[in-house]
């Protein structure tokens, strides 16, 4: 490489270098022959520079230029010259100049491409993943991978400045399945025994607090053996954070500062902090979700007060039985067709609603159609209290509080998109609606198992006012538990942890977790807590989701260099794959596959 090594990248030459001799290395992005003059767009990750082989160049050079196909990797030597004024391309940094080439060396050739390297390929995703090395050459993928690297760098910069130490925790740990399944690693030195891959470094980061490292973080790889529906990946990265001697406000301030720093130094966006705080109950009541999309308002409202005496039996019986009737005023949506409303109803049903009632506000200010007839007498009062106007569509779900909220919340989210209440794309502060969701319930009742379960995880501290009474009414207990949400996505989840082994035991008792089980799974953490554990808490923003959000993508696969597909397969290296039986034998294992049906 000594001879033809680049003097510049393909993204940096301007008229200032006119007249200079330069060498460029890169890929043939385009190669056109206009009346005997070759125009080659040479690309690297920094940009594109136009290379010109003039009509009067040597026959050899022109032959070489003629031979260049898409994605040949070449070296070019030549002289920088200004383009004629009519040819200046102001869209590119290098648009003022071109290279008058006198030498072209083909470093490597390229076979026929399976798809074009382009801004936004319409190619089938598995083909993109199989040829990921080509897919990653697009400016679009390069930008996202660079954004991810930049975000990671700024995260470390900020946390380093705040006095945090990045400490690596093991990838091969004890299996303590909880929530998702662990991936296992058979041990050859200890046949019959297995390591697990961490679902998160949760126990180790708490151990680090016991060790006196009061400000820990790690860009940690986390592994979950889940069924891969939706946007899941077997491995993902989180910004794992834990602190000692802090309360919830300290963690909020830290993360707000972190997001400010990252957004400022990557997208040049000034986020507005502090982020609003919304209680879990309010989030459910107003938006029907614990990760509400706050880029638009359209809050849900309570309708219970208007139900008694309406004569609409369905609503009346829900209210009598302690349920909730929730209503959403969709502005200007009175033109929705029956078909469109049925589609919205399908969404509501997906979330457990039995139906979606509706009515419309006529131009005269009356309630027309759907269940409007039951509320003729009170329509004026209703419109006033709901702040509904002519041309609005009213949508109702009546069910248990949780179902009503969740189902109508899903309708709200869909309407946000259908009514274009959310501005697409762009990169201004208004495109990123952050909020803290606080005061989560600590326990959830598992109807099937007929028992209480930890809503988040078992190490979360109950809020102080519930400490005395939590066994009496677990459902009422709020935890020192918080989520950071943005644009309807849960970006981070965290809590203040229990550091007192006796309190921890009370939680285990409530969720019916016996001592032996606790000892077997979390024994080392419980032991550690007997030796002067400090009060501590933490949080873990998901890096993939953050970068996905920042780059306007809707799947985390778009911001990972080498993701698996939805079957857990990487079409590029074709993993997972069968292995040599001798490898299994060494591990003390044999295959015992279920019969195919």
Annotated binding site for ATP: 224-226, 233, 490, 542-545
For its own copies, the closer of residues 164 and 358 by Cβ is 164
Q: E-strand spans in 257-383?
A: 277-279, 300-302, 324-330, 357-361, 367-368
For its own copies, the closer of residues 111 and 364 by Cβ is 111
Query: Does the footprint of its own copies cover residue 16 (CB under 8 A)?
Result: no
Query: Does the footprint of its own copies cover residue 431 (CB under 8 A)?
Result: no
Site for its own copies in 214-243 (CB under 8 A): 214, 221, 223, 225, 227-228, 234-235, 237
Q: What is the DSSP letter of 542?
A: B
Cβ(288)–Cβ(405) below 8 Å: yes
Query: Does the footprint of its own copies cover residue 438 (CB under 8 A)?
Result: no
Query: Does the footprint of its own copies cover residue 136 (CB under 8 A)?
Result: yes
Q: Specify binding-site residues.
A: 178, 224-226, 233, 456, 490, 497, 542-545
Among 15, 37, 73, 489, binds its own copies (CB under 8 A): 73
Among 129, 207, 398, 556, binds its own copies (CB under 8 A): 207
Among 42, 57, 203, 398, binds its own copies (CB under 8 A): 203
Q: Specify binding-site residues for L-aspartate.
A: 178, 224, 456, 497
Query: Does the footprint of its own copies cover residue 168 (CB under 8 A)?
Result: yes
What is the total count of residues that contact its own copies (CB under 8 A)? 123
The neighbouring-strand residues paired with 78 are 22, 101
For its own copies, the closer of residues 488 and 534 by Cβ is 534
Query: Does the footprint of its own copies cover residue 534 (CB under 8 A)?
Result: yes
The sign of the dihedral angle between the CA atoms of 94, 548, 577, 595 is negative
For its own copies, the closer of residues 285 and 504 by Cβ is 504
Query: Does the footprint of its own copies cover residue 296 (CB under 8 A)?
Result: no
Crossing angle of the two packed helices 338-350 and 401-418, in degrees rounded to 10: 130
Least distance from its own copies to the Cβ atom of residue 485, Å? 25
Q: What residues contact 528, with CB distance under 8 A and at least 6 apart?
A: 206, 207, 210
Give the separation between CA 169 and CA 208, rounded to whole angstroms. Answer: 9
For its own copies, the closer of residues 210 and 411 by Cβ is 210
Least distance from its own copies to the Cβ atom of residue 474, Å? 24
Query: Does the footprint of its own copies cover residue 37 (CB under 8 A)?
Result: no
> For 182-218, b where at least 16 C-beta lie within 10 A, e where not — what string?
bbebbeeeeeeebbbbbbbbbbbbbbbbbbebbbbbb
Query: Does the footprint of its own copies cover residue 118 (CB under 8 A)?
Result: no
Query: Does the footprint of its own copies cover residue 186 (CB under 8 A)?
Result: yes
Crossing angle of the two packed helices 248-266 and 543-550, in degrees rounded to 10: 40
For its own copies, the closer of residues 25 and 289 by Cβ is 25
Nearest-CA neighbor of 256 among 145, 167, 162? 162
Structure tokens at 466: 């519930």
For its own copies, the closer of residues 243 and 398 by Cβ is 243
Binding mask 78-117 for its own copies (x = CB under 8 A): -----------------------------xxxxx-x----
Among 167, 422, 455, 526, binds its own copies (CB under 8 A): 167
Least distance from its own copies to the Cβ atom of residue 246, Å? 6
Among 82, 156, 414, 506, binds its own copies (CB under 8 A): 156
Give the separation between CA 251 and CA 576, rounded to whole angstroms. Answer: 39
Query: Does the footprint of its own copies cover residue 450 (CB under 8 A)?
Result: no
For its own copies, the closer of residues 95 and 563 by Cβ is 563
For its own copies, the closer of residues 165 and 305 by Cβ is 165
Query: Does the footprint of its own copies cover residue 574 (CB under 8 A)?
Result: yes
The secondary structure of 419-470 as a DSSP string is TT-SPPS--SGGG--EEEEE--BSEEEETTTTEEEESS-TTBPBPGGGTTTT
Part of the chain binding its own copies (CB under 8 A), chosen from 53-61, 203-211, 340-348, 358-366 = 203-211
Query: Does the footprint of its own copies cover residue 517 (CB under 8 A)?
Result: no
Q: Is 396 helix (H, G, I), strand (E, B) or coil?
A: strand
Give the separation between CA 438 and CA 247, rounded to whole angstroms. Answer: 13
Query: Does the footprint of its own copies cover residue 123 (CB under 8 A)?
Result: no
Among 122, 449, 592, 597, binds its own copies (CB under 8 A): 592
Phi-psi region of 34 (alpha: psi -120 to 50; beta: other; left: phi over 0): beta
Burial class (CB in 10 A: 0-12, 13-18, 19+), 502: exposed
Pairing of strands 97-108, 165-166: unpaired
Number of alpha carbons in the 13 Å side-chain half-sphere of residue 245 = 5
Q: Over the Cα atoms of the chain, what is R_g?
A: 30
Part of the chain binding its own copies (CB under 8 A), chosen from 193-201, 256-264, 411-419, 430-438 = 193-201
Least distance from its own copies to the Cβ atom of residue 306, Å? 42
Query: Does the footprint of its own copies cover residue 505 (CB under 8 A)?
Result: no
Nearest-CA neighbor of 130 among 114, 143, 118, 146? 114
For its own copies, the closer of residues 75 and 318 by Cβ is 75
Burial class (CB in 10 A: 0-12, 13-18, 19+), 356: buried
Query: Does the footprint of its own copies cover residue 467 (CB under 8 A)?
Result: no
Structure tokens at 146: 């660079």
For its own copies, the closer of residues 409 and 479 by Cβ is 479
Give the separation between CA 304 and CA 388, rounded to whole angstroms. Answer: 17
Give the separation between CA 507 and CA 510, rounded to whole angstroms. Answer: 5
Site for its own copies in 535-554 (CB under 8 A): 535
Least distance from its own copies to the Cβ atom of residue 500, Å? 7
Query: Does the footprint of its own copies cover residue 145 (CB under 8 A)?
Result: yes
Site for its own copies in 355-414 (CB under 8 A): none
Query: Does the footprint of its own copies cover residue 424 (CB under 8 A)?
Result: no
Structure tokens at 298: 């359209």
Least distance from its own copies to the Cβ atom of residue 173, Å? 5
Among 81, 82, 83, 174, binds its own copies (CB under 8 A): 174
């Amino acid at each position: 490489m000594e001879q033809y090594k680049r003097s510049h990248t393909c993204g940096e030459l301007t008229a200032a270098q006119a007249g200079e001799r330069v060498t460029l290395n890169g890929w043939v992005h385009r190669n056109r022959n206009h009346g005997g003059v070759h125009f080659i767009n040479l690309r690297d990750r920094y940009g594109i520079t136009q290379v010109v082989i003039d009509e009067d160049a040597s026959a050899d050079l022109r032959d070489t230029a003629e031979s260049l196909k898409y994605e040949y990797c070449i070296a070019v030597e030549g002289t920088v010259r200004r383009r004629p004024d009519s040819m200046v391309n102001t869209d590119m940094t290098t648009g003022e100049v071109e290279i008058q080439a006198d030498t072209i060396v083909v470093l490597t050739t390229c076979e026929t491409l399976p798809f074009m390297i382009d801004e936004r390929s319409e190619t089938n995703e598995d083909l993109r993943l199989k040829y990921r090395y080509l897919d990653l050459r697009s400016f679009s993928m390069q930008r996202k991978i660079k954004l991810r690297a930049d975000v990671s760098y700024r995260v470390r910069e900020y946390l380093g400045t705040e006095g945090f130490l990045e400490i690596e925790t093991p990838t091969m740990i004890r299996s303590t399945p909880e929530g998702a399944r662990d991936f296992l690693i058979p041990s050859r030195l200890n046949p019959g025994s297995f390591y697990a891959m961490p679902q998160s470094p949760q126990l180790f980061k708490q151990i680090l607090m016991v060790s006196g490292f009061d400000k820990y973080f790690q860009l940690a790889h986390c592994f979950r053996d889940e069924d891969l529906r939706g946007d899941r990946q077997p491995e993902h990265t989180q910004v794992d954070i834990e602190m000692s001697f802090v309360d919830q406000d300290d963690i909020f301030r830290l993360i707000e500062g972190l997001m400010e720093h990252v957004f400022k130094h990557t997208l040049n966006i000034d986020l507005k902090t502090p982020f609003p705080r919304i209680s879990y109950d309010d989030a459910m009541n107003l938006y029907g979700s614990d990760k509400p999309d706050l880029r638009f308002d359209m809050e849900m409202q309570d309708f219970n007060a208007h139900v008694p005496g309406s004569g609409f039996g369905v609503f009346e019986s829900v209210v009598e039985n302690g349920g909730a009737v929730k209503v959403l005023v969709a502005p200007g949506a009175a033109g929705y067709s029956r078909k469109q409303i049925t589609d919205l109803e399908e969404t509501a049903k997906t979330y457990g609603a039995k139906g979606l009632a509706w009515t419309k506000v006529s131009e005269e200010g009356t309630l027309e159609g759907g269940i409007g007839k039951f509320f003729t007498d009170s329509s004026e009062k209703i419109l006033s209290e709901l702040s509904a106007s002519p041309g609005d569509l009213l949508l109702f779900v009546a069910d248990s509080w949780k179902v009503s909220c969740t189902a109508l919340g899903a309708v709200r989210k869909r309407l946000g998109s259908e009514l274009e209440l959310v501005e697409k794309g762009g990169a201004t502060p208004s495109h990123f609606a952050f909020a803290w969701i606080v005061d989560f319930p600590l326990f959830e009742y598992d109807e099937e198992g007929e028992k209480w379960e930890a809503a988040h995880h078992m190490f979360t501290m109950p809020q102080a006012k519930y400490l005395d009474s939590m066994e009496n009414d677990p459902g009422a207990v709020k935890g020192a538990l918080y989520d950071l949400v943005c644009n309807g996505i849960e970006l981070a989840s965290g809590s203040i942890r229990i550091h007192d082994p006796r309190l921890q035991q009370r939680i285990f008792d409530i969720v019916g977790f016996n001592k032996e089980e606790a000892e077997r799974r979390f024994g080392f953490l419980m032991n550690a807590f007997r030796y002067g554990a400090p009060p501590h808490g933490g949080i873990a923003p998901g890096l993939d989701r953050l970068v996905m959000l920042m780059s306007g993508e809707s799947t985390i696969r778009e911001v990972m260099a080498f993701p698996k597909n939805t079957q857990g397969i990487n079409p590029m290296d074709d993993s997972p794959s069968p292995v040599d039986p001798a490898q299994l034998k060494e591990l003390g294992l044999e295959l015992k596959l279920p019969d195919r049906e």
